[in-house]
């Protein structure tokens, strides 16, 4: 992909804060940091526009909770069209962490995340909004 240089006018103090922030985050220069911010906005837009996106749903739960594991499995079968992969990690004697990698319409992914989150006994759910990379 060819690179384009462009000029940006911005308040001095805002730029100083930005430089300070990206330095803490480990960026070597502004170009990569600004490029990442732009792509972040594009991904956000993908999720709003209903295009096919990718995501990761993370769950933490106690597998001793009655019928929870089978309820979560049932839900995942209901959404099998959008689930690419599920990884189950036994965190300790009681707790499981599950990572569900998905690709599909944002509404479907959100629907799956909501259903998993609202399942009795699920202690933590997060949805990481990623992209297929096709539209950014
Ligand atoms: Ni487990």
CA angle 131, 108, 100 (to 5 degrees): 65
pTM for the model: 0.85
Nearest to 57 by CA among 78, 80, 79, 86: 86
Separation CA 6–CA 28 (nearest Å): 18
Q: How far is the CA of 103 from the centre of ligand 1 (A)?
A: 24
Q: Distance from the CA of 118 to the center of ligand 1, in angstroms? A: 19
As a whole number of angstroms, the distance between CA 37 and CA 58 comes to 24
Distance from Cα 63 to the centre of ligand 1, integer Å? 6
Measured in degrees and rounded to the nearest 5, phi and psi for residue 56 equal -135, 125
Tokens of 39: 């792509």
The pLDDT tens digits for 13-67 are: 999 999 999 999 999 999 999 999 999 999 999 999 999 999 999 999 999 988 9
- Per-residue pLDDT tens for 58-92? 999 999 988 999 999 999 999 999 999 999 999 99
Exposed / middle / buried, residue 59 (Cβ in 10 Å: 0-12, 13-18, 19+):
buried
Distance separating alpha carbons of residues 122 and 84, to the nearest angstrom: 21
């Amino acid at each position: 992909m060819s690179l384009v240089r462009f000029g940006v006018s911005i308040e001095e103090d805002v730029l100083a804060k930005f430089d300070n922030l990206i330095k803490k985050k480990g960026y070597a220069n502004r170009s990569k940091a600004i490029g990442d911010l732009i792509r972040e906005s594009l991904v956000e837009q993908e999720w709003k526009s209903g295009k096919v996106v990718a995501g990761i749903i993370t769950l933490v739960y106690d597998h001793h909770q009655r019928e929870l594991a089978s309820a979560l499995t049932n839900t995942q079968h209901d959404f099998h069209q959008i689930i690419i992969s599920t990884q189950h990690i036994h965190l300790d004697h009681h707790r499981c962490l599950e990572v569900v990698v998905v690709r599909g319409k944002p509404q479907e992914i959100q629907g799956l995340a909501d259903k998993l989150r609202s399942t009795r006994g699920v202690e933590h759910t997060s949805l990481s909004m990623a992209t297929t990379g096709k539209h950014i």
